[in-house]
Amino acid sequence: VTIKAVVFDAYGTLYDIKSVAAVTEQAFPGHGEIITQIWRIKQLEYTWLRSLMRRYQDFSDITRESLAYALRVLGLECDDGAFERIMDKYLHLDLYPDAAAALAGLRDRKLAILSNGSTAMLNALVRNSGLDRVLDATISVDARKIFKPAPEAYSLVESVLGVPPTETLFVSSNPWDACGAKAFGLNVA
Ligand code: 2OP
């Protein structure tokens, strides 16, 4: 197989979503870890429920609602300022330490992100981390109004990059995402 494009998941694959724990811990000492875990689980659950119900709302709304859920279920009161400070970290997540070098080593291929993130969230994240200089495209499922692992979401890669699934490698650290991409027909790492 000739791989002409390498496409990455964003949250948890290139970007360390656990890096929000520093901010949640600062806002709620002793609870940073558990907030971060519940937040992520609920965030994913909301994407799947909304996709099944065909009640799409973008990932920024989903991320807000799931953070609100996590704080409520833990009985934590949060003022607007603290809530926005936590949310803002999603636009400034840390890249995993090896991500930039790995991307640089793949520069002879087309490189992109395919993420459930909204266009605005992803563009800010990519710019803030400097990946806009390396990536050929940042693709948001927002164009199809359905979240991964729906096939419609993965089909965006060929529409945007013009490379068929058989010549594309999709990279994700999220097992459900790797399975979804494989089921759609992408090569997967
Ligand atoms: C993504 O970036 C949510 O990690 C998932 O699409």
- Closest C-alpha to ligand 1, atom 4: 11
- Given 9, 58, 142, 177, which residue is catalytic? 9
Output the pLDDT for position 42: 98
Q: How many alpha carbons fall within 13 Å on the CB side of residue 179?
A: 3
Output the CA 140–ligand 1 centroid distance in Å. Answer: 10
The average pLDDT across 73-101 equals: 95
The answer to whether residue 1 scores a pLDDT higher than 90 is no
State what percent of residues in the chain have pLDDT above 70. Answer: 100
Distances (CA, A) of 176 to 92, 132, 150: 24, 26, 11
Output the CA 25–ligand 1 centroid distance in Å. Answer: 23
Q: In what order do the strands lie in the sheet with 137-140?
A: 137-140, 110-115, 5-8, 168-171, 187-188
Encode pLDDT of 25-72 as tens digits: 999 999 999 999 999 999 999 999 999 999 999 999 999 999 999 999
| Stated pTM of the model | 0.94
Distances (CA, A) of 82 to 60, 61, 130, 157: 17, 17, 26, 36
Encode pLDDT of 129-165 as tens digits: 999 999 999 999 999 999 999 999 999 999 999 999 9
What is the DSSP secondary-structure string of 136-147?
SEEEEGGGTT--
Hey, how many other C-beta atoms are within 10 angstroms of the C-beta on 24? 25
What are 141's two structure tokens?
Answer: 């499922």
Q: Is 61 a catalytic residue?
A: no
- Closest C-alpha to ligand 1, atom 5: 11
Compute the distance between CA of residue 23 and CA of residue 27 in angstroms, rounded to an integer.
6
